[in-house]
Structure 1
């Protein structure tokens, strides 16, 4: 499949859901959408693949929205599928525009020219970066933590994953460690640090670029997507996480 250069924009790569100016929590959901710009012809994929976890993080946006409601927090959400460009990866990363994702070949990402890759960077990554950076800059006096919300598949390459919630960090581990130290007593969820991914897998780009470099504590929440398949489950998960995040904020008082 030959993927053409698009002669128009892809549409907005990021959307900010507004909040009060003094919000102290910022929610980020990079993989909120499975939208493929029309000019990319679905990247040559079947609709089934575009609905699967390889194209986005199912359930993550619902959790993020409920968290934002509890904290009166802004959300910066991705509006284009990570198969077009993964905004949690830098341009030099090979999987920023994956030619294969898990078991699926992505025809529209194969043999891209430098110009085609640069167009994805210019129309997706750079604007997303600018929106998130601008939100942090505008709120630098009030923000205490950035929380990125993701989901992951229960079965990966045929292997069952037992972990249900992952608490991930990049260069700055303070808030992730505080969350691990304040886990809900009697929680039914198997929660592990830096599982099922970690910074060594390249997943800490947003945390490090927008968190650590701005002295803004951050954490990535990875939720197994079979736990958040409905609006009710997403709300329940978000309520549990919100209480947990608040405990971690309290524990970190004087350090953040």
Structure 2
């Protein structure tokens, strides 16, 4: 009987020691945190808005590095940028007691911090500019999300009719992700003819500016096909106003291709 009790006691002691020496189970590792932040494609993206009644055109440039927005610049241009126009600074400061350069900088820094145009806090003192900023920032960010590749197809953008009845338009063809053709022209709401087909207008333009209008327009398109980037196309020749229209409408047409 004593032997049985001793044996049972030994078994109990062995089990207890084994339990004490066994490694403790670790709690299951937590799953890695999910990154909800959108990853953007590296590059520089610009969006421009409509010119207002005073001639100012708003624009935003967003720089993406390592998948995140690293730099943002907002400004408005009318011959020169507001941020560089010291007379405008002074007039704005005198009228509203607001430093417009500081406001523009604050808006850009807010987007870098938030990484989302909808989460940028409103900036007091320049409501109109802030509204433009949010709209254009969202457009530029959309470009970063879509990347640089264009979808195949034919894309067209038209501008506003000017005081003489001419409406500018651009047609772009994309094949295999590249711009293969681009044409620019302006159509008359009075004569219902394109400038490149209006012999009288072409002759007058040639006489006044010594510029072949058809050749100038063809060069716009050829240069875009060669460069594949409207920012690299020089439109400062003898048809500079048309060149400005061309650049703005190309950006609009290519936004459709993205």
Shorter-chain-normalised TM-score: which range? under 0.3
Q: Which has the larger radius of gyration?
A: 2
| Bigger proportion of residues as helix | 2
Q: Which has the higher contact order (CA 8 A, sep 6+)?
A: 1
Which TM-score applies when normalising by structure 1? 0.28
Q: Identify, as 1 or 2, the structure richer in strand.
A: 2
Question: With structure 2 as the length reference, what TM-score do the two structures score?
Answer: 0.27
